Amino acid sequence: MLQLQNLGKSYKTGDDALKGVNLEIPDGQIVGLIGPSGAGKSTLIRCVNRLVEPTTGKVILNDVDVTTLSAGGLRKERRKMGMIFQEYALVDRLTIMENVLSGRLGYVGFWKSFLRKYPQSDVDEAFRLLERVGLDHMVDKRADELSGGQKQRVGIARALIQDPEVLLIDEPTASLDPKTSRQIMRLIAELCKERNLSTIVNIHDVALAQMYVERIVGLQLGEIVFDGPPEGLTPDVLTQIYGEEDWEATIDEVSDDIDDDINEDGIDSAKNTDKVAKDITEAVSAP
């Protein structure tokens, strides 16, 4: 379980990015984090693994208070925190396989990784993950030869090869077209269900969040103003989070997109037949 207790972040300018955030995310649950630009979504995610240092409060991952750890303790704890980035954070000149294996840097150390001396068990797991994300036929291709959707699949595999206890995902679909966005969110939902991972997804697309997550947290000016199921996002709630907009049209779009997924895959992808959606680097590479 991931717990955030009275989490706050203030900057030297006096601006408060987060104000007393309290969250509990059980194993296997995907939480979609929504809100306008500047609401504190990315800051919250980065406070969990201390890429951004919280000013107040606690981050507790399975009974370990991350906020009190020394530098060495934090490096070890970050092994348990997989992160997927909006802009992929791949090394373009490296192959897909090498990028995925970089997720093991926290275990094997810099020099072994520099010399490509990964244990065979890590290599075998990388092959399994690449097969799972649909890239097993491209292991020797360089990252700069990939499409955006393929790059994000590599990022997913890299995060999962850490064998994490929590997955932190920062706008995974912001640079992708609508169809690829649905495919990536569906894949994330399936993998988190399979691995029983506590997951936070910062997502800018309200309709996409409603399709693939079980719980949505709305942030406004660093504070939680909504915490509930997707169906609780009424036009009034969305107006409270974002301001005035034609939210009835957005809600209708969710229904249309779910119908599209049913027609495209022959199943209800938002539920994935066994309720996937409902049950739904610095942080990676510290030696």
Per residue in 181-226, pLDDT tens? 999 999 999 999 999 999 999 998 999 999 999 999 999 999 999 9
The pLDDT, as a whole number, for residue 272 is 38
* 164-184 tens-digit pLDDT: 999 999 999 988 999 999 999
Domains defined along the chain, listed by start: 2-285 (3.40.50.300)
The pLDDT, as a whole number, for residue 256 is 57
C-beta of residue 129 within 8 angstroms of C-beta of residue 190: no
C-beta of residue 225 within 8 angstroms of C-beta of residue 194: no
Please state, in angstroms and rounded to a whole number, the distance separating the CA atoms of residues 200 and 177: 22
Report the mean per-residue pLDDT for the chain: 86
Q: Which two tokens stand for residue 71?
A: 């530098």
Average pLDDT over residues 39-62: 96
Average pLDDT over residues 35-47: 94
Task: Give percent of the chain with pLDDT exceeding 90.
Answer: 74
CA distances from 153 to 9, 84, 138, 146 (A): 31, 10, 12, 10
Which is more confident, 275 or 234?
234
Please state, in angstroms and rounded to a whole number, the distance separating the CA atoms of residues 221 and 235: 19
CA angle 257, 87, 277 (to 5 degrees): 35
> In Å, how far from its chain's centre is CA 176?
15
Which is more confident, 256 or 238?
238
The pLDDT, as a whole number, for residue 280 is 27
Average pLDDT over residues 52-69: 96
pLDDT band at 258 (very low <50, low <70, confident <90, very high): low
The pLDDT, as a whole number, for residue 244 is 73
* 107-157 tens-digit pLDDT: 887 767 777 788 999 999 999 999 999 999 999 999 999 999 999 999 999
Full-prediction pTM beyond 0.85? Answer: no
pLDDT band at 14 (very low <50, low <70, confident <90, very high): confident
CA angle 184, 190, 194 (to 5 degrees): 145
